[in-house]
Amino acid sequence: MSNFLFGRYLPGKSWVHQMSPQSKLMLSFYFVIVIFFANNVWTYASLSVLILIVVVMSGVSIGYFLKGIRPLIWLIIFTVLLQILFSSGGHVYWHFGPFSVSDTSLINGGYIFVRFLLIIMISTVLTLTTTPLAIADGVQTVLKPLKKVHFPVDTLALMLSIALRFVPTLMDEMETILNAQRSRGVDFGSGSLKHRIQAAVPLLVPLFTGAINHAENLSTAMEARGFTDSEHRSKYRVYRWQRKDTISWVAFLLVGVLVLFIRNN
């Protein structure tokens, strides 16, 4: 659990750390869009190479990085399996009732797996290298146009930053509660499915009440420090567009063009 990386910030001075949050955020969005244009081995391969380069430039070791997102990979594999079993078409290898496995569903399943993986990797890099407040700041800037239609951009951004800020706290709390219930004889992660679901209750109830408690304390503390709304605030940090941002954008745009070029039409 403590290896879980998604949503955590790792202080550092790498290339990616130094980019402006707005441009990182936009690049991530852009990258996700490009992913949906990929439809063959070559397109997926080039995007994978790109993301690996990004991970390297974020200063986090790749092995560790992959280990850190492993908990999520199980979730993806589960989704992919469902996808494979329920889709139809192509040459059928095996079937049972509504389930079937065919060559196209296998290939599609593989692509979906890679697609998920790429999305998780880019968002993990984003949160690993960008402080929660900076991400919130980025969201605020990016979504600014929506203010015209009275969308609560600032509030959304602040909520996001606090949610991210509390990821590690809640992780720690989860670990403590797991340990407390283990001391009372609970065996998490063993036994039948029914048993496992039952074992989740003593974890989830305290986790939920704990989260509410933290949230209440935090909002009290914020109010006490003069917070009223997220709109009327000045900014301690400014993030300027730098050459690093320009270079990254050029690289990402080139890969985007490449993907359009080599995808199956």
Ligand X SMILES: Nc1ncnc2c1ncn2[C@@H]1O[C@H](COP(=O)(O)OP(=O)(O)OP(=O)(O)O)[C@@H](O)[C@H]1O
Q: Which of 103, 172, 187, 223 binds ligand X (CB under 6 A)?
A: 172
Q: Is 250 in the site for other proteins (CB under 8 A)?
A: no
237 binds other proteins (CB under 8 A): yes
The 8-class DSSP code of residue 40 comes to: S
State the DSSP H helix or E strand holding residue 95, giving kind and residue range, or none if neither: strand 92-96
103 vs 175, beta carbon nearer other proteins: 175
229 binds ligand X (CB under 6 A): no
When asked if residue 16 is in the footprint of other proteins (CB under 8 A), the reply is no
Is there binding between residue 217 and other proteins (CB under 8 A)?
A: yes
**Number of other CB atoms surrounding residue 246 within 10 Å:** 11
In the complex, what is the shortest distance from the CB of residue 181 to other proteins, in angstroms, rounded to a whole number? 6
Q: 32-51 mask for other proteins (x: CB under 8 A)?
A: --------------------
- DSSP of 130-158: S-HHHHHHHHHHHHGGGGGGT--HHHHHH
Q: Which element (helix H / strand E) includes 101?
A: strand 99-102
| Composition of the chain by helix, strand, coil, percent to 5 | 70, 5, 25
Task: Give the C-alpha distances (Å, rounded to integers) separating 216 from 43, 67, 211, 219, 223.
Answer: 47, 33, 9, 5, 11
List interacting residues with other proteins (CB under 8 A): 2-3, 8-11, 60-61, 64, 67-68, 131-134, 161-162, 165, 168-169, 173, 176-177, 179-187, 189-190, 201-202, 205-206, 209-210, 214, 217-218, 220-228, 232-238
